[in-house]
Amino acid sequence: MSKRKNKKFKGWLIAGAVVVVLGLIGYQIVQNANKRMIDSMETFVIEPGTIILEALASGKITSADSEDVTFNGTFRRTTVELGDTVAKDDKIGEYVNNLGQLIAIRANRDGLITQVPSAVMSKFEISNPDKFQLDIQITERDIYKIALGQSATIYVEAVNESYIGEVTKISSLGNTSGDFTTYTVTVGFDHGETSVYLGMSGSAKIVLETFKNIAVVPVEALITSDGKRYLLSADWLDNANLPQSDYYIPVTTGVADIYDIEVIADDLIGKTIIILPETGDNFPFFQGNRND
Query: What's 88's domain CATH number?
Result: 2.40.50.100
Give pLDDT, residue 72.
92
Question: Is 289 inside a domain boundary?
Answer: no
Question: Is 4 inside a domain boundary?
Answer: no
d(C-alpha 228, C-alpha 78), whole Å? 67
> Domain range holding 103?
67-127
Per the structure, the count of domains in the chain is 3
Q: Tell whether 153 and 185 lie within a shared domain.
A: yes
Q: Tell whether 202 and 233 lie within a shared domain.
A: no
Give pLDDT, residue 240.
87
Question: Is 14 inside a domain boundary?
Answer: no
Give pLDDT, residue 219.
95
Give pLDDT, residue 288.
37
Question: Is 34 inside a domain boundary?
Answer: no
**237: exposed, middle or buried (Cβ count in 10 Å: 0-12, 13-18, 19+):** middle
Domain boundary among 87, 103, 127: 127
Question: Is 285 inside a domain boundary?
Answer: no
CATH code at 142?
A: 2.40.30.170
pLDDT in tens, the chain (292 residues): 555 555 555 555 555 555 554 555 554 444 444 555 555 678 999 999 999 999 999 999 999 999 999 999 999 999 999 999 999 999 999 999 999 999 999 999 999 999 999 888 899 999 998 899 999 999 999 999 999 999 999 999 999 999 999 999 999 999 998 888 999 999 999 988 888 899 999 999 999 999 999 999 999 999 999 999 999 999 999 998 899 999 999 999 999 998 999 999 999 999 999 998 865 444 443 333 433 4
**Structural element, H or E, at residue 186:** strand 180-189
In the sheet with 102-106, reading across from the earlier edge strand, the strands are 74-78, 91-96, 102-106
Question: Is 21 inside a domain boundary?
Answer: no
d(C-alpha 32, C-alpha 197), whole Å? 60
